[in-house]
Chains A and B, each alone.
Chain A
Amino acid sequence: MDAILSYFSSLNPMNFLSQLPGNIAQGIIWGLMALGVFITFKLLNFADLTVDGSFATGGAVTAVLLLNGVPIWIAVIVALIAGILAGLITGLLHTLFGIPDILSGILTQIALYSVNLNIMGKSNLPISNRNYSLVLSSLNNNMAIIIGLGFAAIVIAAMYWYFGTEQGSTIRSTGSNPAMSKAQGINISVSKVIALALSNGLVALSGSLFAQYQGFSDVNMGRGAIVIGLAAVIIGQVLGETIFRKHINFIIRLVFVIVGGILYYIAMGIVLWLKMPTDDTKLFTAVIVAIFLAVPYLQKKSKSSFKKVAKLNAKAYSKEGEKNA
């Protein structure tokens, strides 16, 4: 009993609140990454695991270019292009060689691990805000939040525009109905490659920002990125659909991906504040994603299921039995 009391008295709400801006900033940065996952997972219906690699690629490219005296904005743009190339490889493995979607992503991801090590020359490169002028940094979380939101606004506006164009529409139709798309003259291989390239470009951009935020690039920084991305996408979707119901539209869905990223990091902040071991954070992430994936399914099931029919009928039969008796 004493142990529990002393545990709770050791929890200082101020600690949590002081961490909050950092959580929000990280949530926004990872939300950008989740927008990339949204393109493949939601629009293209393609479970792309490249992102674990391309996220780290974004960080690696940024760090190396900075160390070599390249201006930060150019480093960010080159990181984005590197991500686009990574997505291109996954897309070509899938469309040219017929390798299943998950597998082609895994192949690129594992290859990128070596590529990223080669880019950086070692497994960790520090890029301190003190030595370089960075786009954002954890040393100024309020600024990081504002800049992150600026990036999010630009990316969301660009995605809203692109997926409303003739070309963007073909990506949505390819993901939803490839047979129809081919019959309407759409080259679905091209659609897939474009979507994968754009998605991973966005993921690498997020990786670049995250490396700057944390002040270093690490070859392992993308490990489990896909799950965090999915967490943001799914938390955002469940929440957005609960709040807006039928009125949800494309732009709200995109905004809620960022919201999902922020909520995920706040939840992580709570977990750490509760002094749970940091070793368990990945386990915690997996549990969150599993729960949010399961909720819509279970909700649907609670409305109509075989068990429910069995219960209803059992009731009806027992009533009939009483009457007959």
Chain B
Amino acid sequence: MLEIKNIYKTFNKGTVNEKRALNGLNLTLNDGDFCTVIGGNGAGKSTMLNAIAGVWPVDSGAILIDGKDVSPLPEHKRASYLGRVFQDPMTGTVADMEIIENLAIAARRGKKRGLSWGVKKGEKEKYRELLKEFELGLEDRMSSKVGLLSGGQRQAITLLMATIQKPKLLLLDEHTAALDPKTAAKVLELSDKIIEENNLTALMVTHNMKDAIAHGNRLIMMNDGKVILDISGEEKKKLTVEHLLQKFEQVSGSKIESDRMLLSTD
């Protein structure tokens, strides 16, 4: 499904701010993998997602989606393979446009956009059904501007937009970090549901170890721009926070400093 082969990326090369963000990163995801990603600040989690999405070109290495090398493609061309939800709820939607217009734009991801109406007749009913499943009451507000919605509602819409056109890979970049705990739980539940129902392959970055353990069938830990821990299957099911911390110490050879790691264990 997804193959990341030996990716390197350095920011601000040749300046005092030089930062090697991805350091020979390798990762292979199988079809239907729902993989959570944890790691400290600056470990390269979001950088990895941005590299996959093509926000900027990598320095070297290859990213293959379904066997096709997408690393030479610009962001908007890769979009047809990807669904993305961002940390900032403002990023994923257009505030000045109606809910239905946002969904219609997303439904045309990867397709040619011509001179026919931006929202066609049958679409409204289709989106209404999809929104109903969210149980947020949004199905009755489809003509509201997205800017009027709360962060959680916007994130839910972004999630629907990311998956309305089934993506080959769903990228969730700390998409619940900016939400209050109750809303975050709801959005996570929705994410689980959508991924399962559509049998999606997904990468979810989180700072919350419990979430990382509770969700998905696979967990990777990143440090210093590389994957240092990869747990899946039965082992993942039995995983606990203590166990994870222990593992990290074994692998990295240093005691975990929760301050530096900025991982929340609750």
Complex: A44 Cα to B13 Cα, angstroms: 33
**B93 A180 Cβ-Cβ under 8 A:** yes
Residue B200, interface by CB 8 Å: no
Residue A295, interface by CB 8 Å: no
Residue A177, interface by CB 8 Å: yes
**B91 A169 Cβ-Cβ under 8 A:** no
Nearest B residue to A165 via CB reads: B115
Complex: A185 Cα to B113 Cα, angstroms: 10
Nearest B residue to A42 via CB reads: B96
- The distance from the CB of A253 to the nearest CB of chain B, in whole angstroms, is 12
Residue A170, interface by CB 8 Å: yes
* Interface segment out of the listed B102-110, B126-134, B228-236, B247-255: B102-110
- Residues of B whose CB lies within 8 Å of any CB of A are 53, 74-77, 79-80, 82, 84, 86, 90-97, 101, 104-106, 108-111, 113-118, 161
Known A170-B105, A176-B95, A176-B97; contact A185-B79, beta-carbon cutoff 8 A: yes
Residue A315, interface by CB 8 Å: no
Query: Interface range on chain A: under 10, 10 to 19, 20 to 34, or 35 or more?
Result: 20 to 34
**A183 B97 Cβ-Cβ under 8 A:** no
Complex: A13 Cα to B145 Cα, angstroms: 46
**B94 A170 Cβ-Cβ under 8 A:** no
Known A183-B84, A183-B92; contact A167-B113, beta-carbon cutoff 8 A: yes
Nearest A residue to B113 via CB reads: A166
The A contact surface, by secondary structure, is helix
Residue A269, interface by CB 8 Å: no
Residues of chain B within 8 A (CB-CB) of A164 are 117-118
Nearest A residue to B78 via CB reads: A185
**B108 A166 Cβ-Cβ under 8 A:** yes
Residue A318, interface by CB 8 Å: no
**B76 A186 Cβ-Cβ under 8 A:** yes
Residues of chain A within 8 A (CB-CB) of B75 are 182-183
Q: Which of A170, A172, A179, A180 has the most CB of B within 10 A?
A: A180
**B93 A167 Cβ-Cβ under 8 A:** no
Residue A18, interface by CB 8 Å: no
**B91 A165 Cβ-Cβ under 8 A:** no
- The distance from the CB of A143 to the nearest CB of chain B, in whole angstroms, is 34
Residues of chain A within 8 A (CB-CB) of B118 are 164-166, 168-169
Residues of chain B within 8 A (CB-CB) of A168 are 118
Known A164-B118, A179-B91; contact A185-B96, beta-carbon cutoff 8 A: no
- The distance from the CB of B101 to the nearest CB of chain A, in whole angstroms, is 6
Residue A123, interface by CB 8 Å: no
Nearest B residue to A186 via CB reads: B76
Nearest A residue to B91 via CB reads: A179
Residues of chain B within 8 A (CB-CB) of A180 are 91-94
**B97 A182 Cβ-Cβ under 8 A:** no
Residues of chain B within 8 A (CB-CB) of A182 are 75-76, 79
CB-CB nearest 5 A-B residue pairs: A185-B79, A166-B113, A169-B118, A185-B109, A176-B94
- The distance from the CB of B190 to the nearest CB of chain A, in whole angstroms, is 19
Nearest A residue to B93 via CB reads: A180
Known A166-B108, A185-B77, A187-B76; contact A173-B91, beta-carbon cutoff 8 A: no
Nearest B residue to A166 via CB reads: B113
Residues of chain B within 8 A (CB-CB) of A186 are 76, 79, 105, 113
Residues of chain A within 8 A (CB-CB) of B82 are 183
- The distance from the CB of A174 to the nearest CB of chain B, in whole angstroms, is 9
